[in-house]
Amino acid sequence: MKPWLLLSLLLLQQTLQSAVGQSAKSKRPKEPGENRIKPSNKKVKTRTPKLKERNSTEPSPKASSIMTRVMEKGHFQKPTATLNLSAGQSIELRCKGNRIGWSYPPYLDTFKDIRLSIKQHERYSRLILENATAADTGEYSCWLLQCKGYNCKKDESKRGSTYIFFADKEEFFVPAPSYFEVVYLSPDKPAVIPCRVTNPSAKVTLHQEFPAEEIKVDGTNIIYDAKKGFIYQHPTSDQKGVVYCRAESRGTSQISIKYQLLYVKVPYGPPSATIKASSNTLQGGSDVNVLCTVLGQPDVEVEFNWIYPGQEYKRPVNIQDSWRLIDRGDDHTTRISESIITVEDLETIDAGNYVCVAQNLRGQTTVATQVELI
C-alpha cells in the first residue's frame, strides 16, 4: 500500500473516533425536572387553547324576536331596533304565535284609523299600516299571549319590537294633540319634554321662551333621545318655565309646540281626602250636597266612587267630578280633585253614611260623613 493512502486512512479513523466521543459526552445525565418540559409542551399543543375563557367574554345569546317584516315579492326580514321610512309608505309586520298582542302609537287608536289593520291567523298575527304619516312615528311591538280560559298574560320571552321613523318634509316633529302641553318636574324622577322627531338625522335644540335663549344640553343632566325627546335627569325648580324645541334639516328649521314646565313637591302616596256635607241635619224634602276633595300630584289622576244610603234602592242622584291646578307658592303646585254627590227631595232612605272612596295609582283613601233627617 502506498504511504500517502495509509496516512489518509489513519487521519479518517481519528476523525471518526473524535466525533463519537463528543456525541457520548453530550448525553450527560439530565437534571431532575428536565424531562418535564417537552411533555408539558406537547399537552398544550394537543388541547384547544382556552376555550372556556374565549366563550366567557362573548355576549350571551339574546332571545330571538318573533317579529318579521314583509318585504317586496314575499321576502321576510327581521326588523332592526329602528327603521327609517318615509311618510306615505306602507309597512307589514308579522309575529309568530296563535294568539298575539300588539302595541303601536296611540294616535292610531284616537280616531280608529282605517289605515291600520290587525288580523290573527292560525300561526301568526299580521299588522298592516297603509299610507303612513308623521304622526305614526313610534314603537311597534308584539308579544305572545298565554291564555287560560279568558285570563291572558304576556309571555315576555317571546316578543318583538321596532321603532319606526316616518320622515316627513313638512313635519319635523311628531304632531301633538294640542299647541301647548304641561310637563311636571319632580325632584325624585326624570322629566321628559316629548318633542320627538320624524327624522333621526335632524339636529334638535332646546330653547326657553323667557329670557329667549338656547338651553345647554350637556349629555348628563339634560340628554336628548330622538325616540323620547329631551330628558331632565334631575329636575330642579330653576328649570320651570316655558320651553320649546327647534329642529333643523337640509337648511330648513321648524319649532315644536310649547311646553309649560311646572315644578312640584307633593309627596307620592294614596290620596289625601276630606269630605263635607252642605248640612248634616236636614228636613225631609230638602236637598243635600256632599263634597269629597283630594289634594295630590298634578299629574296623577284620581278616581272617585260613592257609597250612599239609597244606593240599593237605585235612588237617582247627580255626581259631578272635576279638577284644577293651584300654585301654592314656594314652587309648590297641587292638583285639587273634587267629586260632588247631590240628592234632591230627601226621604227616609237617604239618611245615613255617605262614603267617598278616592283612588289613584298608589292606593285609596275612604272618608265618610253622616246625614240625618229631622
Sign of dihedral through CA atoms 38, 43, 49, 52?
A: negative
| Structure confidence at residue 10 (pLDDT) | 59
* Helix, strand or coil, per DSSP, at residue 327: strand
Residue 183 pLDDT > 70: yes
Residue 110 pLDDT > 80: no
Tell me, yes or no, if the two domains 180-263 and 272-373 fold the same way: yes
Cβ atoms 198, 171 nearer than 8 A:
yes
| Structure confidence at residue 226 (pLDDT) | 94
- Residues in a beta bridge with 225: 229
* Residues whose CB falls within 8 Å of the CB of residue 12, separated by 6 or more in sequence, listed in order: none
Instruction: Parse the chain into domains and list their residue ranges.
Output: 67-167, 180-263, 272-373
Instruction: For the domain covering 67-167, report its CATH number.
Output: 2.60.40.10
| Structure confidence at residue 73 (pLDDT) | 73
Which of 9-13, 60-64, 244-248 shows the lowest per-residue confidence on average (mean pLDDT)?
60-64
Q: pLDDT, tens digit, for every residue of 230-262? A: 999 999 888 888 999 999 988 899 999 999 998
Q: pLDDT, tens digit, for every residue of 306-335? A: 999 999 888 999 999 999 888 766 556 778
Residue 43 pLDDT > 50: no
Pick the CATH number of 180-263 from 1.10.1130.10, 2.60.40.10, 2.40.50.100, 3.30.200.20: 2.60.40.10
Which of 81-85, 109-113, 338-342 shows the lowest per-residue confidence on average (mean pLDDT)?
109-113
Please count the CA atoms within 13 angstroms of the CA of 306 that sit on its side-chain side: 28
Sign of dihedral through CA atoms 133, 138, 144, 147?
A: negative
Cβ atoms 294, 276 nearer than 8 A:
no
Q: pLDDT, tens digit, for every residue of 221-232? A: 999 999 999 999
Q: Please list, residue by residue across 210-244, b when 16 or more beta carbons sit within 10 angstroms of its beta carbon and e when fewer do.
A: eeeeebeeeeeebebebeebbbbeebeeebbeebb
Instruction: For the domain covering 272-373, report its CATH number.
Output: 2.60.40.10
Distance, in Å, from the CA atom of 229 to the CA atom of 39, rounded to the nearest integer, reads 64
Backbone angles phi, psi at 370, to 5 degrees: -105, 135
* Strand arrangement, sheet containing 191-193: 191-193, 229-232, 222-225
For every residue of 124-188, DSSP letters joined together read: EEEEEE-S--GGG-EEEEEEEEEEETTEEEEEEEEEEEEEEEEE-SS-SBPPPSSSEEEEEEBTT
Q: pLDDT, tens digit, for every residue of 132-166? A: 999 999 999 999 998 887 788 888 889 999 999 99
- Give the number of other Cβ atoms within 10 Å of residue 196's Cβ: 23
When pLDDT is averaged across residues 163-175 and rounded to a whole number, the result is 93
Q: pLDDT, tens digit, for every residue of 75-93? A: 899 999 999 999 999 999 9
Residue 217 pLDDT > 70: yes
* Helix, strand or coil, per DSSP, at residue 34: helix
Greater confidence (265 vs 239) lies with 239
Task: Give the length of the chain.
Answer: 374
| Structure confidence at residue 54 (pLDDT) | 41
